[in-house]
Structure 1
Amino acid sequence: MAPADRDRWLALGLLLAALMLAYAVLIHPWWTAPMLDVQSRIESLQQRELRQRMQLRQAPLVAQRLAQVKQQLSTRPGFLPEASAELATVGLVQRLETAVAQASPGNRSCAITNRSPINEPSRERYARVVVQVRLRCGTPELATVLHSLESGTPRLFVDNLNVLAQRHFFGAGGEASGEGGLDVSFDLFGYLRPGVAVTRADTAEGDDAL
């Protein structure tokens, strides 16, 4: 190659190197990189807008399905109807008092000696409300009370049932009113509907808890 041609190619190479250096130092960081970042943000915003538009289109269908689910849950007899754990506890106690009053009018042969709400951690799928109950009942009245509690609507459950025989039954007035009474304790509970708040303040245990 002639010296003149070699010099031209060398000059061209130096020019290209200078241009690349100028691009790397001046153009890319000050122009190309910001433009690429802007383009990336534009594409991200476009994708986000597309997702939001799709969600908005599905909103009526989701709302309709949610209403159907709520309607189904409200008609299921298995869940307590109250809107909070506190109200559900009151409802449990009222169901208990009604069952005892029907089994023994005037508490002549069956009486509530204690009903205490308890807070207990549960790993079950649905949260439950529990009341510890203690009764002094005759045998037929106890059977009637338990049947009334477990066969009604909404569904209630009896657990940890303990029965002790006693010589005399002491009625509401504290006087012995019969032979063969039973000292009974058990946990009465029901399940809250999904979505109902289960957090509640600690309640004192004892005869006057409610």
Structure 2
Amino acid sequence: MYKTRRAQRFYAIALVILMGTFLYWVLLHWWFIAPLQQMAEEVEVLQVSYQRFSTLEAQRGFIQAELESVTRRPLPSEGLLTADEPEVATAQLMQLVSERLSLEPATGIACTVLSRSPQTATPNGQLLQIKVNVDMECGIESLAGTLHRLESEQPYLVVDTLSIQRAPNSTGAQDQQGHLVVKMQVSGLLSAMQAAGHE
């Protein structure tokens, strides 16, 4: 009899604990505790972000002074076009494109320029961006070599736009070699100060 009452008391206490835990999670935790914990985490994230931005704000003067110093610093001439005027720079750019064609690929078709048309130079800070549109016929290997040479040799050139299509009149063996029609815009940089000094 004593053991039975003791077991009943144990079960009653266990049931009360389970009910209390259930009510805590259902009524308190999800409605009150969890939102407070989420708010505390968000506050901590905001504090970290605020400290980071405060550090950057404290360095604003130093960063701005460095930026102005770099802006006033003369540009290295190795990567720029060497002409004195935009028109001459355009001619130089066309010549560079022709010189950097992959004319002797290991396999496939060499690149051939079909047409070149100069575009209007665009000011860009201390620089003038000299542009030319180029239409070519290439094989796959020669095109890859040409693109690499265009952007890796000095003065540095940039392929701004590139359109590649299979040549519509290619047949047979040429198809197997990958006869491609390529349209691209290539640009180089010219010092605006240098160009202004020769006007």
Tell me which residue corresponds to 1:130: 131
Question: Any stretches of 5+ residues in structure 2 without a counterpart?
Answer: 1-72
When Rg is computed on C-alpha atoms for both structures, the one with the higher figure is: 1
Q: Is the 8 A contact 1:136 1:169 kept in 2?
A: no
Cα shift at 1:97: 1.0
Cα shift at 1:148: 0.6
- Partners of 2:93 and 2:118 in 1: how far apart? 9
| Alpha-carbon distance change, 81 to 177 in structure 1, aligned in 2, over 3 angstroms | farther
- Partners of 2:140 and 2:102 in 1: how far apart? 15
1:81 matches 2:82 = yes
| Alpha-carbon distance change, 146 to 169 in structure 1, aligned in 2, over 3 angstroms | farther
Q: Percent identity?
A: 29
Secondary structure at 1:79 match in 2: coil
Secondary structure at 2:93 match in 1: helix
Tell me which residue corresponds to 1:109: 110
CA deviation vs aligned residue, 1:98-117 (integer Å, no higher than 9, x gap)? 1126446xxx6321011100
TM-score, length of structure 1 as denominator length: 0.50
Q: Is the 8 A contact 2:123 2:129 kept in 1?
A: no
Matches within 5 A, 1:1-210: 72-73=74-75, 75-100=76-101, 102-103=103-104, 109-120=110-121, 122=122, 124-125=124-125, 126-166=127-167, 178-179=174-175, 180-197=178-195
Question: Any stretches of 5+ residues in structure 1 without a counterpart?
Answer: 1-68, 171-175, 199-210
Secondary structure at 1:100 match in 2: coil
Secondary structure at 1:82 match in 2: coil
Cα shift at 1:192: 0.8
CA RMSD of aligned residues (A): 2.9
TM-score, length of structure 2 as denominator length: 0.52
Secondary structure at 1:91 match in 2: helix
- Partners of 1:91 and 1:132 in 2: how far apart? 14
CA deviation vs aligned residue, 1:172-200 (integer Å, no higher than 9, x gap)? xxxx97222111111111111131337xx
Q: Is the 8 A contact 1:109 1:169 kept in 2?
A: no
- Partners of 1:100 and 1:169 in 2: how far apart? 21
- Partners of 2:188 and 2:98 in 1: how far apart? 16
